[in-house]
Structures are given as C-alpha cells and as structure tokens.
Structure 1
Amino acid sequence: MHLYYSRKRPFEDLPVEVTAIWSCPNENCKGWMRDNFTFSIAPVCAQCQSEMVKCERMLAALENTSPNQLKQ
C-alpha cells in the first residue's frame, strides 16, 4: 500500500485575481512572468530572449516580499 500526502493547498482554496504579467509574443514560446516578480522595466523572455509584452491573466493571488523587487 502506497500513501500519498501533500502539504500543498488545493487549487480550489486559492483566491484568484486579475494579475499583470509579461508574456512572450513569440508564437513558438509559452514564456510568461508576473509583473511584480520582474527585475527590469521591460523584461526579455528567459526561454527565447524575445522582448515581452504586458498583459493580464487570472492567477492565484501572490505577494512578492523580496527586497530586490522592482518598485514601480
């Protein structure tokens, strides 16, 4: 018998909100990042090095408490 235990909260319990993100415009790339987790004003895609475009997605609410967070 194999038991599975996870400390992660189920996705249903996480509140979602409209979140500003940067998305890769390259149709062959699926790269994206949250705006409040970037280190530059106009980031480039870490996967294909294309200039990213700003847009929005419904994502789980997260707060970036890093002291290195870009202040906008």
Structure 2
Amino acid sequence: MSSQARVLERRFITLEDVRDVLSISAAQAYALVRSGELRAIRVGGRGQWRIENAELEAYILRSYHSPDTPRRFA
C-alpha cells in the first residue's frame, strides 16, 4: 500500500499531506485553507491545521469543471 493511500485512510490529515496528495507547494496548500476554499480546523497548542479527508475530497470534486463551464481565474 502506498504512503498516499495510508494518508487517505486517516480521518484528519496535515497540510503537508494535502500538499503531497494535490502535488502543490506548502504555500499553495496554506493559501487554500486561509482562503476558505479548503475547510480545516486548528488543533493543539500551536494551532496546527488539520483537514478532514471528506473536506479534501469535496474540494477536489468542486475543482472539476466541464468544457462548457467558464473557468474562474484568480
């Protein structure tokens, strides 16, 4: 079983895990959370971000588009 598959078995994952799953930079993963596009919670005394796998999957599904749908560029 790949490390990515093991990550997706857990209920909550870290921003680093999100970065690995989406193949994006740490700054991009943090920006998704800060903007509210990817819902997350802060836990622990240091306020580390955790993302529920269901939220990551929902974000991925929302990110798909059809060729007929105009794309939004930020």
Q: TM-score, normalising length from structure 1?
A: 0.22
Higher percent of residues as helix: 2
Greater Cα radius of gyration, structure 1 or 2: 1
